[in-house]
Amino acid sequence: MRDALEAGESFRPRRVTRLDAYADRWLDDLYTAAEAGRISKQTYNTYEGTWRNHLAAAFGSLPLAAIDAGIIRRYTAAKQAEGLAPVTINNSLTPLSAMLTDAVDEGLIVTNAARQPRRARHGGSRRGALYVAVKRAAPKFLEPAEARALLAVTPESHRAMVLAALTTGFRRGELLGLRWEDIRWADRRIELRGQLQRREYVGCKCGSEREVVLYSGLARALGKHRQAEGYVFTDANGEPWTDQGPERAFLRAAYDAAGLRQPGRMWHALRHTYASALANGGVRRDVVERLMGHAGKGTTSIYTHLFREAFDGVEEALAAAFELRPGAPSRSPHAEAPDASDEALPSTA
């Protein structure tokens, strides 16, 4: 007010807007974006459900400017008392932060109290006071011998899909949405441009479209079924897979047959196995992050083809981890059954 008056401007007080009124409009805009394909429909469903189940009761009646760090701390404490997991509590603040960020852009409030602040130099962090501390477990992955064992017992009709997960690091939806048009056979590259969610082709998570190396063993496996277009992996009826379809159809049984303990997120374990194989093969960390879709998000990821020399060693690292060699065990050391012969994985691995 003082700055406006000193500048000779007429002061116009900001109108008071309650969060519930703002959220209604914000979610409508988000729904329109999902319908237009600019964001995932799953993202809309998650945000809308979080608002309805958690945020509306705690923050809905408050003016936007009244939502401060103290109110957010009380919210997280109350959710902890209800028994919610720390990750769930922190994730529930994501749509709140998104709303407040847009409200700042619209000039309705000055700052976003839910935004994750940067860590202080002295080692402390204001974030710890707002968000619940989360003890993150190390990512689950398979040892090379375990990965080869899983490949050996996977039915031939689905083995290429498991091999693709191990040698591309794609998320489940990205794997299900892989199209023949994305494969550049001559260049030995895959240009990932989208993913499949509930049998609908949408953009990749967080704009992580990227280019990855097409491993030679995967090229041989897919080359037998090469087509001009369409989805690379389909169900028994030739239709796109549902999100949980592959787990029910073959992956759970394959984990059991290989004598492996099933992780909670089986495809995600294969994704981390890919990262582990590259790291063990000496591939630079920044390259691994780019191939995984962690770095180079958005526009910059489109230009990964300009850094071909950075992909040196990827083929060798994958071959060392997943290609069966004479004398190499093809079953998990935890399995009771005898080792399978090398013929179990002819030229596809």
Spatial CA neighbour of 28 closest among 92, 102, 135: 102
Decide the pairing of beta strands 189-192 and 210-213: antiparallel
pLDDT of 13 reads 62
For the four alpha carbons of 220, 221, 223 and 224, in that order, the dihedral sign comes to: positive
- Matching residue, tokens 């950075």: 310
- What is the rounded average pLDDT of the residues 344-348? 35
What mean pLDDT is reported for the chain? 83
Quick check: 248 and 226 in contact, CB under 8 A?
no
pLDDT of 338 reads 33
Structure tokens, 238: 């030739």
Task: Determine the residue type at 197.
Answer: Q
Quick check: 349 and 222 in contact, CB under 8 A?
no
DSSP 181-192: GGEETTTTEEEE
Rounded Cα distance between 347 and 224, Å, is 11
Decide the pairing of beta strands 189-192 and 200-202: unpaired
Spatial CA neighbour of 96 closest among 135, 69, 125: 69
- What is the rounded average pLDDT of the residues 8-17? 74
Spatial CA neighbour of 174 closest among 224, 210, 123, 213: 210
pLDDT tens across 82-127, in order?
Answer: 999 988 999 999 999 999 999 999 989 989 999 865 444 444 444 4
3-class state of residue 312 by DSSP: coil
For the four alpha carbons of 307, 310, 316 and 317, in that order, the dihedral sign comes to: negative
pLDDT of 308 reads 54
Radius of gyration of the chain (CA): 24
Quick check: 97 and 115 in contact, CB under 8 A?
yes
For the four alpha carbons of 110, 112, 117 and 120, in that order, the dihedral sign comes to: positive
Given a cut of 70, whether residue 7 has pLDDT beyond it is yes
pLDDT tens across 227-278, in order?
Answer: 999 999 999 999 999 999 999 999 999 999 999 988 778 999 999 999 999 9
- Least confident window among 76-85, 110-119, 329-338: 329-338
pLDDT of 204 reads 84
Contacts of 137 (CB under 8 A, 6+ apart): none
Spatial CA neighbour of 72 closest among 126, 119, 25, 123: 126
Structure tokens, 282: 């000496």
pLDDT tens across 166-198, in order?
Answer: 999 999 999 999 999 999 999 999 999 999 988
- What is the rounded average pLDDT of the residues 47-71? 95
Given a cut of 70, whether residue 342 has pLDDT beyond it is no
Rounded Cα distance between 262 and 243, Å, is 17
3-class state of residue 255 by DSSP: helix
DSSP 275-306: HHHHHHTT--HHHHHHHHTSSSTGGGGGGGGG
